[in-house]
Amino acid sequence: MSDLPPAREIEFIAPAPSTEGSVTLSVHEGGSGPAVVLCHGFPELTFSWRHQYRPLVEAGFRVIVPSQRGYDGSHAPAEIEAYDIDHLTGDIVGLLDALEIDQAIFVGHDWGGFVAWAMPVLHPDRTLGVIGVNTPYMARSPVPPTQALKMVAGDDEGSIYILWFQEPGVAESVLDAQPSLVFEKLMRQARSPAEMMAEVAESGGDMNPFRRLEELPAVGQELLSADELQVYIDAFKRSGFRGGVSWYRNFDRNWERHPEIGTQTIACPTLMITAEWDVALSPALAADMPSRCTDLETVMIPECGHWTQQEKPEELNQIMTDWLGRRFG
């Protein structure tokens, strides 16, 4: 079911500015050659990269797949501030140190994309290159991110899931009680954006599927087998959703602390892989990336939705191994 090797616990001392001391991450790792670190998104796991691990190893790379903080088996502190971008990127730096790796190529999907794009800005000496999967290197918002979203939400802030996530305990109380519904309803094959938006309009225009899981129709072909679905369900039954949701609670903190993210030009080799049918992270969001990335290639995967690694694995693998081979092979 998975080509990932067994995970092992890797402990390191959290780098500054963190004062946490010891941090332990659960990590799948193997292969030889230039290091490639695969950063998962929300609500996902290292398991989401199961189709990419073996092809990347066979292409001649040392592949590292960490379960990031707050997720299955890894460090999960209680403080919300412990999930800001300093800690998330600091974990990657600490992991590289523990593995005695100087530099790596960072690949990020969804929230993992924000981590990957922050690496050349906050830790340029550790970064060989970046691959964004669906998540672009976005321009800095002129106002704090939640303020911008509140302008869109109007009177019903809960209609936008990122705003609904902000109040501690609210999302957890709903998601922790029904992890099976989260993945049964949301992790499905994509449909065209027109179909997706028509469904949103028909349901009242709510852009927050998480708070109404029981009401959501199961639309689109199932993406996971029964056994694969159970991996996600079991993992989030163990960990809950608090850690992953806490990443979202640091959007404004990250914006305030690091104005250079989204404004600083990235000069290392970069690859942006967009998915034609991703409503959450549409290809249009990557259109102006050439103004902030001086060595950029962009490829779009047709008729692909948000769960790219699992929805179009062969296409994604071919694009990544081709670029990695040309630039770092």
Same domain, 22 and 62: yes
Residue 166 within any structural domain of the chain: yes
Query: 């903190």: which residue's tokens?
Result: 253
> Which stretch of 56-65, 109-118, 157-166, 209-218 has the lowest confidence by average pLDDT?
209-218
Same domain, 221 and 204: yes
Q: Tens digits of per-residue pLDDT, 172-206?
A: 999 999 999 999 999 999 888 787 777 666 655 56
**pLDDT of 160 higher than 80:** yes
Residue 91 within any structural domain of the chain: yes
Same domain, 154 and 132: no
Task: Check which CATH number belongs to the domain holding 306 and give it.
Answer: 3.40.50.1820
pLDDT, mean over the chain: 94
Phi, psi of 188 (to 5 degrees): -135, 165
Same domain, 182 and 319: no
pLDDT of residue 64: 98
* Active-site residue (options: 51, 87, 258, 306): 306
Angle at 159 between CA 153 and CA 161, to 5 degrees: 105
Last residue of a domain, one of 182, 217, 248: 248
Residue 183 within any structural domain of the chain: yes
Same domain, 16 and 126: yes
Residue 65 within any structural domain of the chain: yes
Same domain, 110 and 244: no
Q: Name the pairing type of β-strands 8-13 and 22-30.
A: antiparallel
Q: Tens digits of per-residue pLDDT, 203-250?
A: 555 678 898 888 877 777 899 999 999 999 999 999 999 999 999 999
Same domain, 161 and 273: no
Query: Catalytic site residue 72?
Result: no
Residues 110, 42: contact at Cβ < 8 Å? yes
DSSP 3-state of 305: coil
Same domain, 269 and 137: yes
- Name the burial class of residue 217, with classes exposed (0-12), middle (13-18) and buried (19+) by CB atoms within 10 angstroms of its CB: exposed
pTM (2 d.p.): 0.96
**124 upstream amide cis, omega within 30 of 0:** no
Residue 254 within any structural domain of the chain: no
* Residue 131 β-bridge partners: 107, 271
**pLDDT of 133 higher than 70:** yes
Distance CA 28, CA 12 (A): 16
- The larger pLDDT score, comparing residue 207 to residue 122, is at 122
pLDDT of residue 203: 57
Last residue of a domain, one of 180, 214, 248: 248
Same domain, 149 and 229: yes
Residue 2 within any structural domain of the chain: no
Residues 108, 124: contact at Cβ < 8 Å? no
Cβ atoms within 10 Å of 37's Cβ, excluding its own:
26
Q: Which domain holds residue 238?
A: 145-248
Residue 256 within any structural domain of the chain: no
Query: 């690694």: which residue's tokens?
Result: 309
Same domain, 121 and 100: yes
Residues 298, 75: contact at Cβ < 8 Å? no
* Active-site residue (options: 110, 123, 278, 288): 110
pLDDT of residue 155: 85
Q: Tens digits of per-residue pLDDT, 78-89?
A: 999 999 999 999
Same domain, 72 and 113: yes
If pLDDT is split at 50, 70 and 90, which confidence band does 131 have? very high
CA dihedral 177, 167, 186, 217 (to 10 degrees): 80
Query: Catalytic site residue 109?
Result: no
Last residue of a domain, one of 205, 224, 248: 248
pLDDT of residue 202: 65
Q: What's the number of domains the chain is made of?
A: 2
pLDDT of residue 195: 78
Q: Tens digits of per-residue pLDDT, 21-75?
A: 999 999 999 999 999 999 999 999 999 999 999 999 999 999 999 999 999 989 9
Distance CA 238, CA 231 (A): 11
Same domain, 160 and 127: no
- Give the dihedral sign, CA 272/278/283/286: negative
Residue 253 within any structural domain of the chain: no
